[in-house]
Chains A and B, each alone.
Chain A
Amino acid sequence: MTSLARELFRHSLETLQDKLLKMGALVEEAIFKAVRSLAERDLDLAREVVEGDDVVDQMQQEIEMESLELIALQQPMAGDLRVLGTALKITTDLERMADLATDIARITIRLEGQPLIKPLIDIPRMAEIARSMLREALTAFVERDPELARRMVERDHEIDHLFKQVFRELLLLMMEDPRNITQGTYLLFVAKYLERIGDHATNLGEWVIYMVTGERLELNK
């Protein structure tokens, strides 16, 4: 590449990375708002999350197209190619996370503001860990820091542990009183969605490690 072409390529790569970060920030907000809407039975907030999903989908398509275009036109190698490959993978995980957040918001809407069978404690905690993993993954991506990525994926165990706890608790509530079953099932779904969000966040970490070191690690065991 000539130095001008090189400069243009750099610029495109930076723009793409910014777009990816923006998408990540939107997903973080969607997770936060979805769980907040559930805890506070805030239907308006839930609808906001559902409507906001279109923007995330749109961004995913743009990132995919731009990455593919850069690969086709610039034929990057080594590190640059890995960045673009990572962008393609990360955007898919982010889009899935946003979908799961939307699913949680839909459950808020379906519960129609009825009082919860238990105060939510572990579920917001799961969401908080998932959000912080997402944020750390994005930071690791910006900083090109595989160590930060490695540390963040360890936190997925906490989410898995909380999921088991929520599962047992809800099961007991449903056995105690069959009237709890409808809501109990919905809340189980929410916990499962958050557990999946945690898994996707782990994937982000793995991809950042790959991007920086070229090694593929399976951290999600």
Chain B
Amino acid sequence: MNPGRLGRISSRKVGERESGIPESCPWVVLSRFADELEEAVLLFGREGRLLWANRMALHLFGEGVKPGASPIEASLNYAFSEAVEEALAGKRVEREILLLPAERWVKVVALPGEEVWVVARDVTPERRLFEMRDRFLAQAAHELRTPVGAIAGWAETLEELSPEEVGEQRELLSHIRREAQRLGRLVEDLLQLSRLRGREVALLRRECDLGRLAREAVERFRKRFEEKGVELFLESPSPVYASLDADRVARALDNLLDNGLKFTPPGGRVTVKVGEEEKDLVVLEVEDTGEGMTREEAELAFEPFYRGRRPGAGAGLGLAVVKEVVEAHRGRITVRSSPGAGSAFRLEFPRWSPI
């Protein structure tokens, strides 16, 4: 590429086309090509003034991108202007910088020379993905460590007991069993989540009655609701047939009922509704009269390990699994909730498997 050529565009207002120049002129072709790039490209002259920039540069850095602007005027970003100045001083610069107010991470490469070419690429999605993965691993490890530690501790105490202390032995063994079960559930949830996320296992879709699945789930939970004094209702008119993976939908229902029970105080009510909307959509709603969530909490509710204000109430994987089940069916999940007014989870499934 010949920067001298493009350098002459300095008279061109950034982002606009100049008229009267043949369309076939190399830099017209080149700058049109540059406008299609997903990277921002900027060219600074030896005086450190902006000569030329492509469309993405304008999009990423905003209104300051004008011919003649200094690096700081163009970006209002300290790290960016430092990078360009270092390149003007003859150093190749490569670094990630944070752009405000958009809160986007951008990888900047500034090539040294008499004129400085700067290429900037938005790396925010990659960074978010890494952050999410790191957080997930850290939390999973943390959740696994707690019960393992407890089991090891109790086993140690058990070893120290004399054979006569049968009562204590029994008690410790039942602690160990409970923690092992908790661990088992957690591993089960993690496996579910990773299978669904990785789309490793295809859904076993079969025609089934969503109303029946809901009825069976309600029966499974009946006793636990009665014990806590929370009413459990089912509104399911006629059979609602759909092509679903019955086991996984049942699992999602269990998680939703489990949640409803956990967050609804005695005297409250949880209602399961099954229905159909239009020809091709079946709907499942689980509504409670519990604590409800703020908007912020509702946004995070489907994140793995998010536990809201109730630390200790499960590992926070339940709703993440529900969401994955719905999305594996190409469905949609939404939540309606406000503090003190309960929460309503709405799951929409396409009635037939899309081919």
Contact = CB atoms under 8 A, between A and B. Distances in A.
Given A21-B73, A138-B76, A119 B64 contact: no
Interface string B70-87: 101101111001000000
B240 interface: no
Interface stretch (A24-32, A84-92, A104-112, A211-219): A24-32
Contacts of B100: 28-29, 32, 131, 135
Contacts of B76: 21, 24-25, 28, 135, 138-139
A119 B295 CA distance: 11
Contacts of B334: none
A106 to B, nearest CB: 21
Nearest to A131: B101
Contact of A22 (B63, B81, B101): B81
- Most B CB contacts (10 A, CB to CB) among A25, A26, A28, A138 go to A25
Nearest to B73: A142
Contacts of B101: 28, 128, 131-132, 135
Interface in B261-296: 294, 296
Given A18-B72, A21-B73, A25-B72, A119 B296 contact: yes
A119 B297 contact: yes
Interface in B52-92: 63-64, 70, 72-73, 75-78, 81
Contacts of A26: 78
Contacts of A28: 76, 100-101
A101 to B, nearest CB: 13
Contacts, number: 46
Nearest to B72: A21
Contacts of B297: 119
B98 interface: yes
Given A131-B101, A139-B64, A18 B78 contact: no
A14 B103 CA distance: 28
Interface residues of A, number: 19
Interface residues of B, number: 17
A1 interface: no
A22 B81 CA distance: 8
A121 interface: yes
B77 A18 contact: no
B63 to A, nearest CB: 7
Nearest to B309: A119
Contacts of A22: 72, 78, 81
B301 to A, nearest CB: 13
Contacts of B294: 119, 121
Interface of A: 14, 18, 21-22, 24-26, 28-29, 32, 119, 121, 128, 131-132, 135, 138-139, 142
Interface of B: 63-64, 70, 72-73, 75-78, 81, 98, 100-101, 103, 294, 296-297
17 contacts: A18-B72, A18-B73, A21-B72, A24-B76, A25-B81, A29-B78, A32-B100, A119-B297, A121-B294, A128-B101, A131-B101, A132-B101, A135-B76, A139-B63, A139-B64, A139-B76, A142-B64
Given A18-B73, A29-B98, A132-B101, 15 more contacts: A18-B72, A21-B73, A22-B72, A25-B72, A25-B75, A25-B76, A25-B77, A25-B78, A28-B76, A119-B297, A131-B101, A135-B76, A135-B100, A139-B63, A142-B64
**Which 9 A-B pairs rank lowest in CB-CB distance, beginning with the nearest?**
A25-B78, A21-B72, A26-B78, A18-B72, A18-B70, A22-B72, A22-B78, A25-B76, A119-B296
